[in-house]
Amino acid sequence: MADVLDLGSLEPNIPPTDFGLYTTSLAAPPKFGKSTWCTLYSKPLIFDFEEGTMGKVVFRVPIAKWAEVKKYIRQLVSKPELKEKYNTICFDTVNYALEGCKQYIIDNYQSDHPEKLIDTFNKIPYGGGNELLSKEFKGEINKLKRAGYGIVLVSHIKDKTFGKETENEYSKTVPDLTDKERNMISAMADFLLIGDFETSTLEAAKKNDKDKVIKDAVVETKRVLYLRTNESAEAGFRWPGCPEKIPFDFDEFKRVFSEAVMEEIEQGKDKFKLSDSKITDIRNSLDLRRETEQLASVEEELSKDKLEKEKERSEKEKAELDDIVINIMALAKELQANNTDVKAINKILDGDPRSLTSVDKAKDILDKLGALEKNII
């Protein structure tokens, strides 16, 4: 049974003051500045699915398949020294990450069920695809979180209609994901940020007495970031009291975050009567606990890595053995067709070649059959 905390000595949680350690969902239109936003975090690593940061000076890895993501995450989790190099892992974009994850699930399901034709995600029986997607995607994200990394999940946006076929029908800007995907991301994220363009009229258009426009209106378009849900966007922030929206500015978001988290800590100090030194002690204790959790994650990933390598080696040896057995049977058949001494052949084979389990033994038999063939020839 895993060790649990002593509830008698449990101290209140103190939120991290580095917002790069939280999980953030950032959705915005194309060319809005989402990828640039990711590069502004402290020590970011970009999982670049769309080549959005190819023109940036930043640590990035282009991603083509979900299997690559799993291998990179295994490195990040199993090598603690990488925590000194990277702090926040950005998925740019989560739209493509989820599509890659779906294809990975399809391929695995098809491999496990060769009797079925599973060429699209929706063909996985009984709606099981979404359950497998949630388990696979959240599982990998949680590995990063347990290892102490912050997460940024970048996505596109769309307008979604709510309350259809009712008198209260309305639309909001949301991440461009399916309902189940959006709910999954929302449950994982501390911040649900929606970026969009906002146009305002600075000066109305002027018209003459015939209602003809003689001077166009003066308008201004700005980039804004919604932090809380309103009539325009479905957003969310970890703590109450934040503005509904702010300019799309990284430093401004840091300021709002800092004010909110420090207010939360101050309220906690008053509620639990904590001194500044006690806060420091609790933080140190939490850091130690996180380090312990990280080490446990490292051991778990190393164990999985060892098992996977053993499995790959076993599958490789089996494939090699199958090839050798096919060659043995073909050569034995050829020797028999050439009227070679059957007793000599059977003595070398020493039974059915298909029952062989050793690559070395199979190679030895093939070599002896080859020698017998040369002697005959």
Tens of pLDDT, residues 88-111 = 999 998 999 999 999 999 888 888
Q: What is the mean pLDDT of residues 297-311?
A: 75
Paired tokens of 96 = 């493509």
Of the listed ranges 34-43, 283-292, 343-352, 361-370, the one predicted with least confidence: 283-292
**DSSP for 245-284, written as a single string:** EEES-HHHHHHHHHHHHHHHHHHHHHHHT--HHHHHHHHH
Residues in a beta bridge with 159: 173
Q: Are the C-beta atoms of 191 and 201 separated by less than 8 Å?
A: no
- C-beta separation of 137 from 187 below 8 A: no
Calpha distance 152→24 (Å, rounded) = 5
Distance CA 44, CA 62 (A): 14
Burial call 47-71: b when 16+ CB within 10 Å, e when fewer: bbbbebbeeeebebeebeebeebbe
In order of start, what are the domains of the chain with their CATH numbers? 7-274 (3.40.50), 275-377 (no CATH)
Amino acid 358 reads S
Task: Give the pTM.
Answer: 0.73
Mean pLDDT score of the chain: 87
User: Could you tell me which residues come within 8 angstroms of residue 182 by beta carbon, excluding any fewer than 6 positions away?
Assistant: 174, 175
Structural element, H or E, at residue 151: strand 150-155
State the helix-helix crossing angle for 128-146 and 179-188, rounded to 10 degrees. Answer: 20
Sheet holding 44-48, edge to edge: 59-62, 44-48, 88-92, 150-155, 23-27, 191-203, 218-226, 245-247
Please write the tens of the pLDDT for every residue from 48-60. Answer: 998 878 888 899 9
Region label for 47, one of left (φ > 0), alpha (ψ between -120 and 50) or beta (otherwise): beta
The C-alpha atoms of residue 110 and residue 310 are separated, in whole angstroms, by 23
| Secondary structure of residue 184 in the 3-state scheme | helix
Q: What is the mean pLDDT of residues 300-321?
A: 80
Mean pLDDT, residues 111-137 taken together: 82
CB 28 within 8 A of CB 195: yes
Residue 376, pLDDT score: 61
Integer Cα distance of 124 and 102 in angstroms? 11
Which of 92, 99, 96 shows the shortest CA–CA distance to 154? 92
